[in-house]
C-alpha cells in the first residue's frame, strides 16, 4: 500500500471513530435526560445581602467596623446549612472554632491597637471566612481525600496554603467534597457521597475541587482554595460559574495535599490556587498563599489592556473521543474577542495549533513514571496489595468502597505508551514542542483565550462517556503555565459557561487582569435568585 493510500485509510478510520463517538455521546445524553427528567432543583435564593459581598469587600468592612466578623461568619454558616442538604458539598465543619476566631478578630479591631492600614497590610483577610477542599489538610477536619480506607483520618496540622490564609486573618469554616483521591472530574466518593450543581442538581459540580466550586457558587463561602493537576480548579469553576486560577508551577506550596505527587515532574503539574465568585479576590488571595514565592510573580505590575497581545482558538482542532465545543461557549468567546477589539483596539489573532489535538495523550504520557502504577497503591492507602479485578467484581455486587472510575483508572494505567518507550518519548517531545510554540507565540505580553471545557456541566455519571474532555484544561498543567477560568454568564440550558485565559510562566498577573476586565462587561458569577 502506498503512503498516500495508507494516510487515506487512517483519515477514514479517524472519521469513523469520531462519528461513532458522537453517536455514543448523543445516545448517552438522551438516556441521562430521561433518567433525570424533572430533577432540576436549584439552591434557595440568597436573602442576606452580606452573602453577595466579595472577600475583599468583607475584609474592608470588617476592619473599618461597618460590620462585625461574627455577623459575617454567622451569615455564611447559615447559608451552608441552608444549601448543603441539596448540593452535598460541605463535608466537615469547625463552626464553633470559627465563631470564636471571629470574636477575637472583632476584639482586635475594637481595641485600636493596630491601625486600619496596618491591619490591611498584615492581615488582609482579617475576620473573613473561607473554605478549602477536603484533600488539603486542615487541622481537626476530615482528611480522607474521598478514600474509604481514610474515612476516619483527621488533619493533624494545616496545609501550607491553609496556614497562609489563617496567618492573613482568614477564618476557616470547613472543608468541601472531592472526587476519590482527587483524580476525576466529578466529585463523588464512598466517604461523603456525591455533590450536586447549585444551578441544576441533576448536573455535576466537577472535580476534584467540585465541592469547593459548588459551595462558592451557592453564596455559602466568599473565597476558597483548590488544587489543579489536570483542570481540577478550572473545571469546577467552569461548571459552577465562578473564577478559578491555577498559578504558574511551584509558586504555591503543595505541602499538605493528599495524595502528593512523588515525581518532580508531576509535582510541577499540581498547582494550588484561589477560587472565588469575584475576580477582584484572585490576586490578593494568590499573594497570600504564594507566601515567599510571591516575588517570583509580577502581581503588583500594572496591566495596560491595550498592550496585551491576544490569541485564541475556539476548539482543539478535533481530538478523537473529545466532545465538540458547545455553540454557547464558542459564541461567548467570539463576544469576548469582539469586545476586546471595540473597547481596547486589540486585534486578537485566531490560531490553529495542531498539537492541541493531542492534548489528552500528551497529558497521559507526561503523567507516566518510571515507578509504574501509583494509583493502585494510593487506592489501598499504600497498605498491602490492591486487586483491581476483584474490586470490579465487588462493584458489580455493590459491595466495593471504590468508585467505578477509580477502578477504571487503575486498569487504564497499564495501557498507553510505556514509560521510556519510543512512543512515550515521542509524546514527551511533542509536549515540549507545544510548550515552545506557546512560549514563542505569547512571550511575556500575550494571552491565549480558549474553552475551559467543551460542554456545560453534564449529568451525573455522564463524564464516564466523555472521560477525555478534561484535556482542554489539563494540557496547560504539563506546561506549568498560569491559567484563569473566567465565567461568562449562563448558557441556553441555564448552566454556567466561560473560557480560560492562559499565559506563559510567571505572567499570572496578565490572566488575572483579563478576568477582572471581562467581569466588568460580561458580569462574571451569576448569583442564584436573590430574595429581598
CA 290, 280, 183, 499 torsion-angle sign? negative
Question: pLDDT > 90: what percent of the chain?
Answer: 86
Q: Is the pLDDT of residue 33 over 60?
A: yes
Across residues 345-360, what is the average pLDDT? Answer: 97
pLDDT at 293: 98
Picking from 17-26, 92-101, 107-116, 235-244, which range would have the lowest pLDDT averaged per residue?
Answer: 17-26
Pull the grid cell for residue 5.
493510500
pLDDT at 528: 85
pLDDT at 377: 85
Q: Is the pLDDT of residue 522 over 80?
A: yes
pLDDT at 10: 67
How far is residue 234's CA from residue 243's CA, in Å, rounded to a whole number?
Answer: 8
Calculate the CA dihedral of residues 132, 133, 135, 138 and round it to 10 degrees.
20
Q: Is 208 a catalytic residue?
A: yes
Beta bridge mates, 143: none
**Which position among 89, 195, 208, 431 bears the catalytic label?**
208
| Cis peptide leading into residue 208 (ω within 30°) | yes
pLDDT at 373: 60
Across residues 361-383, what is the average pLDDT? Answer: 85
Name the more confident of 417 and 121: 121
Pull the grid cell for residue 68.
462585625
How would residue 14 be classed by pLDDT, with cut points 50, 70 and 90?
confident
Please tell me the total number of residues recorded for the chain in this structure. 532
Across residues 360-389, what is the average pLDDT? Answer: 85
171 with 155: CB under 8 angstroms? no
Exposed, middle or buried: residue 415 (CB in 10 Å: 0-12, 13-18, 19+)? exposed
- Reported as a single tens digit per residue, the pLDDT across 56-115 is 999 999 999 999 999 999 999 999 999 999 999 999 999 999 999 999 999 999 999 999
**Which position among 144, 232, 268, 276 bears the catalytic label?**
232
CA 245, 165, 100, 532 torsion-angle sign? negative
Beta bridge mates, 197: 200
How far is residue 323's CA from residue 21's CA, in Å, rounded to a whole number?
Answer: 9
pLDDT at 330: 98
pLDDT at 476: 98
How far is residue 283's CA from residue 285's CA, in Å, rounded to a whole number?
Answer: 5
Q: Is the pLDDT of residue 398 over 70?
A: yes
Query: How far are the Cα atoms of 186, 250, 288, 480, 486 from residue 292, in angstroms, in the given order?
Result: 33, 11, 9, 19, 27
Q: Is 133 a catalytic residue?
A: yes
How far is residue 184's CA from residue 229's CA, in Å, rounded to a whole number?
Answer: 10
pLDDT at 370: 81
- Reported as a single tens digit per residue, the pLDDT across 110-133 is 999 999 999 999 999 999 999 999
**Which position among 133, 166, 246, 249 bears the catalytic label?**
133
How far is residue 521's CA from residue 258's CA, in Å, rounded to a whole number?
Answer: 38
Amino acid at each position: 500500500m502506498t503512503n498516500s493510500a495508507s494516510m487515506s485509510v487512517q483519515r477514514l478510520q479517524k472519521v469513523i471513530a469520531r462519528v461513532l463517538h458522537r453517536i455514543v455521546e448523543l445516545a448517552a445524553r438522551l438516556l441521562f435526560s430521561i433518567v433525570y427528567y424533572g430533577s432540576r432543583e436549584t439552591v434557595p435564593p440568597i436573602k442576606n445581602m452580606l452573602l453577595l459581598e466579595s472577600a475583599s469587600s468583607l475584609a474592608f468592612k470588617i476592619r473599618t467596623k461597618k460590620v462585625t466578623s461574627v455577623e459575617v461568619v454567622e451569615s455564611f454558616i447559615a447559608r451552608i446549612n441552608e444549601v448543603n442538604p441539596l448540593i452535598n458539598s460541605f463535608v466537615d465543619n469547625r463552626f464553633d472554632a470559627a465563631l470564636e476566631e471571629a470574636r477575637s478578630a472583632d476584639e482586635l479591631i475594637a481595641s485600636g491597637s493596630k491601625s486600619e492600614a496596618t491591619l490591611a497590610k498584615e492581615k488582609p483577610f482579617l475576620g473573613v471566612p473561607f473554605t478549602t477542599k477536603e484533600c488539603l489538610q486542615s487541622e481537626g477536619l476530615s482528611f480522607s481525600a474521598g478514600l474509604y480506607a481514610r474515612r476516619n483520618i483527621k488533619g493533624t496540622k494545616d496545609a501550607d496554603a491553609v496556614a497562609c490564609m489563617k496567618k492573613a486573618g482568614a477564618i476557616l469554616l470547613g472543608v468541601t467534597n472531592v472526587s476519590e483521591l482527587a483524580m476525576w472530574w466529578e466529585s463523588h466518593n464512598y466517604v461523603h457521597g456525591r455533590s450536586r450543581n447549585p444551578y441544576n442538581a441533576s448536573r455535576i459540580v466537577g472535580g476534584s475541587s467540585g465541592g469547593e466550586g459548588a459551595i462558592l457558587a451557592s453564596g455559602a463561602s466568599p473565597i476558597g482554595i483548590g488544587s489543579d493537576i489536570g483542570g481540577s480548579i478550572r473545571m469546577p469553576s467552569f461548571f459552577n460559574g465562578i473564577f478559578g486560577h491555577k498559578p504558574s508551577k511551584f509558586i504555591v506550596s503543595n505541602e499538605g495535599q493528599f495524595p502528593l505527587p512523588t515525581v518532580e515532574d508531576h509535582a510541577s503539574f499540581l498547582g494550588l490556587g484561589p477560587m472565588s465568585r469575584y475576580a477582584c479576590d484572585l490576586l490578593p488571595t494568590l499573594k497570600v498563599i504564594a507566601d515567599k514565592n510571591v516575588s517570583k510573580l509580577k502581581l503588583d505590575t500594572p496591566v495596560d489592556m491595550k498592550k496585551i497581545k491576544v490569541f485564541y482558538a475556539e476548539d482543539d482542532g478535533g481530538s478523537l473521543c473529545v466532545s465538540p465545543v458547545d455553540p454557547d461557549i464558542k459564541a461567548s468567546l467570539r463576544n469576548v474577542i469582539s469586545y476586546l477589539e471595540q473597547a481596547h483596539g486589540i486585534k486578537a489573532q485566531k490560531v490553529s495549533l495542531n498539537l492541541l489535538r493531542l492534548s489528552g495523550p500528551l497529558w497521559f504520557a507526561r503523567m507516566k513514571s518510571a515507578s509504574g502504577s501509583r494509583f493502585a497503591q494510593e487506592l489501598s492507602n499504600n497498605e498491602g496489595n490492591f486487586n483491581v479485578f476483584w474490586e470490579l467484581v465487588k462493584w458489580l455486587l455493590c459491595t466495593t468502597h471504590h468508585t467505578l472510575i477509580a477502578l477504571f483508572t487503575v486498569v487504564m494505567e497499564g495501557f498507553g505508551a510505556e514509560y521510556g518507550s519510543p512512543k512515550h518519548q515521542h509524546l514527551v517531545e511533542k509536549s515540549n514542542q507545544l510548550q515552545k510554540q506557546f512560549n514563542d507565540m505569547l512571550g511575556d505580553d500575550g494571552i491565549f483565550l480558549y474553552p475551559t471545557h467543551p460542554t456545560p456541566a453534564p449529568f451525573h455519571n455522564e463524564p464516564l462517556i466523555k472521560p477525555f474532555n478534561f484535556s482542554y484544561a489539563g494540557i496547560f498543567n504539563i506546561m506549568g503555565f498560569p491559567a484563569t477560568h473566567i465565567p461568562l454568564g449562563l448558557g441556553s440550558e441555564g448552566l454556567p459557561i466561560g473560557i480560560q485565559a492562559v499565559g506563559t510562566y510567571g505572567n499570572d498577573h496578565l490572566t488575572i487582569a483579563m478576568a477582572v476586565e471581562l467581569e466588568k462587561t460580561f458580569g462574571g458569577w451569576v448569583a442564584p435568585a436573590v430574595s429581598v
